[in-house]
A and B are shown apart, each in its own frame.
Chain A
Amino acid sequence: MIAPEHPHPPAALRARLLVLGYGNTLFGDDGLGQLIAQHVADWAVPGVLALARHELTPELAADLATADDVIFVDAALSVDQVILLPVTPAGENAGSLNHALTPAALLALTTVVFGRTPQAWQLIVPGADFAPGSPLSPLAQTGITRALEIIRQRL
């Protein structure tokens, strides 16, 4: 018994917006994506689903398939301010996987398996300290506040 091909969930089960924050909360700023997702979940806005995850794994494609819009939230050392970038499904090069899927690759998997492609953005939040057990850096704390403002504007 296999789920029907390209299932389109009823409107009542769809998320208008999915916020998917990921990272490792044991490693200082690396966990800020999860913290942001938890903040959004606490807002309890109808039609908005927030998930906090360690990393992006294939079964999340099923969640993406139920959403109209998706915002991936992650930390990065390579930026000094919060950046919002559109994400499109990765082409065939998405196949060179590392330890987990990238947002573009997860989007591609959603498209090919479930036949739906939500509009997607990646919210990249600067981090400074990724050492085990570190508290959030001031840079990350400022970034979290700004990231939450950006998400709230899209509700």
Chain B
Amino acid sequence: MTRRIVIDPVTRIEGHAKISIRLDDSGCVSDAEFHVTEFRGFEKFCEGRPLAEMPGITARICGICPVSHLLASAKAGDAILAVRVPTAADKLRRLMNLGQIVQSHALSFFHLSAPDFLLGWDTAPAQRNVFGLAAQKPELARAGIRLRQFGQEIIELLGGKKIHPGWAVPGGVRSGVDHATLDKIRAWLPESFATTQIGLDLFKRVLETHAREIESYGNFPSMFMGLVGPRGEWEHHGGKLRFTDSAGQIVQDQIEPKTYASLIAEQVQTSSYLKSPYYKLLGPQAGMYRVGPLARLNVCTTIGTPKADAELANFRTFGRGAVTSSFLYHYARLIEIVAALERIELYVDDSDLLRDHIRSDAGINHLHGVGVSEAPRGTLFHEYWVDEHGLLTKVNLIIATGHNNLAMNRTVAQIARAYIQPGSTEIPEPLLNRVEHGIRCYDPCLSCSTHAVGKMPLLIQLVSPTGAILNTVARD
């Protein structure tokens, strides 16, 4: 017999979700589940669409990470056309993805997560948010906004003034860049480096006083997955898959992304539309893996740029083998911003980007293709099947938030065990704040299908073994 504590919805993440915490007969937390209750249905929606339109369509899935879908889709198209993407196009796609990483990580750190650890976990929710942060530290909030603006600026300079640029296409990209564009990007870099350093200095001070959070916010053994380059270097767009374990040992390396299905299986939960992938050879429990910034820094051998590698060395002092606390996702995000800025700095001086040849043409040469890109939140797979006319007959998308689903469940359970007294049916405010933050460590993106005018309160329900609601708490 179990009881469930339900927290619905989680605020400040993409889409709507709820959290169920199950208690066992003795009143102790047994497990937890992160539910996604909205049906998105994009895979069915895409069937029958022309391959060439898929990047533009799938980019509209999400307002937070459209570039990730754009690039993964274009790469799936590359595979179906069986073309080699021109050097300029590959580098331009990478430049856009780096802009995406900067803007997404800046939003996650400065606006969604920083209020929790800068204003205090137990500050009233009405103040523990970006407005409270802006009131106390306006210069920090403004710097965070401008860092996100920089990432958006790169995306717009390359893809046009659209939030969902249909710019990357199978075979390459639609338009190139000129010197003036690269100069505009270059001009932002000093301020962006400075803002990121402010974030790093700030978070290192946070780490000195947050030992309990490091210990209890998703600190458990797991596998990690991400793309790496041929020498194991940090990757975000090309490369091949690497799996490592919590001891930091390489389990699988240089796996062709198109063979991902031989290593990854997807568990379907009846209570959630979010699929739960796992490492097939070990099953859902031992095969749980994490993706995203924490995983990418765990799987890579080096980042390959000096400032980011210096931070990586410090980051690794927080683990024995791998860094296993999900609280360190925040640190990893900041390091990845540094890595992205250093690479952007190299690209703005790279004459390859100015080449005219930006798109390879071909017809349908394969009826199946897989495209993989590292979204800010983790590895994103687009797998397409087409007919001989290039119309989609089947689509499978594995999103970063899905990869992390099992780890998020375990994180919530771990936090709940630390903050729920055995036998208690109370849902204390400190628990709510911390469970929400535990989820936000992963920066999940469940991109909402529609939105309502107005706000939705945070609703917390305590449910008896028979399903009766024992207690309800709403937070405006």
Question: A residues bordering B, Cβ < 8 Å?
Answer: 1-3, 5, 23-27, 30, 52-55, 57-59, 61-62, 74, 76-78, 92-100, 102, 105, 108-109, 112-114, 122, 124, 130, 132-133
Contact = CB atoms under 8 A, between A and B. Distances in A.
B63 interface: yes
B134 A102 contact: no
Interface stretch (B122-130, B338-346, B367-375): B122-130
B191 interface: yes
Interface string B124-166: 0111111110110011011111101100100000000011100
Contacts of A122: 453
Contacts of B126: 92-93, 95-96
Interface centre among A3, A58, A77, A105 (most CB of B within 10 A): A58
B131 A62 contact: no
Given A2-B191, A30-B451, A132 B45 contact: yes
Given A24-B451, A58-B130, 4 more contacts: A95-B125, A95-B129, A96-B476, A100-B451
Given A99-B16, A100-B451, A102-B455, A109 B130 contact: yes
A112 B134 contact: yes
Given A2-B191, A55-B63, A113-B138, A105 B107 contact: no
Nearest to B454: A102
Contacts, number: 156
Contacts of B446: 99
Nearest to B448: A99
B311 interface: no
B475 interface: yes
Given A24-B63, A54-B62, A113-B138, A108 B131 contact: yes
30 contacts: A2-B143, A2-B191, A2-B195, A3-B191, A24-B60, A24-B63, A24-B451, A27-B450, A30-B451, A54-B60, A54-B64, A54-B163, A59-B148, A76-B453, A78-B453, A92-B131, A95-B127, A95-B131, A96-B125, A96-B126, A97-B11, A97-B12, A105-B131, A112-B134, A112-B135, A112-B141, A113-B134, A113-B141, A113-B145, A130-B450
A75 to B, nearest CB: 8
B449 interface: yes
A103 B393 CA distance: 40
Nearest to B112: A97
Interface in B437-454: 446-454
Interface of A is mostly: loop
Contact of A61 (B61, B139, B145, B162): B145
A105 B195 CA distance: 24
A2 B162 CA distance: 26
A98 B16 contact: yes
Interface of B: 9, 11-16, 40-42, 45, 57, 60-64, 66, 103, 107, 111, 125-132, 134-135, 138-139, 141-146, 148-149, 152, 162-164, 190-191, 194-195, 446-458, 475-476
Given A74-B453, A98-B456, A1 B194 contact: yes
A124 B141 CA distance: 29
Contacts of A93: 126, 455, 476
A124 B453 CA distance: 8
A58 B148 contact: yes
A100 B447 CA distance: 10
B152 A59 contact: yes
Interface centre among A27, A54, A98, A100 (most CB of B within 10 A): A98
A71 B14 CA distance: 24
Contacts of A102: 453-455
A127 to B, nearest CB: 9
B248 to A, nearest CB: 35
Contact of A2 (B107, B129, B139): B139
B87 to A, nearest CB: 31
A59 B45 contact: no
A21 to B, nearest CB: 11
B128 A95 contact: yes
Contacts of A1: 190-191, 194
A1 to B, nearest CB: 4
A62 B149 CA distance: 9
B127 to A, nearest CB: 6
Given A52-B163, A74-B453, A112 B131 contact: yes
A98 B107 contact: no
Nearest to B62: A54
Given A95-B125, A96-B458, A3 B41 contact: no
Contacts of B127: 92, 95
B128 A25 contact: no
B449 A109 contact: no
B164 A54 contact: yes
Nearest to A31: B60
Contacts of B131: 92, 94-95, 105, 108-109, 112
B13 A99 contact: yes
Given A55-B63, A95-B131, A3 B142 contact: yes
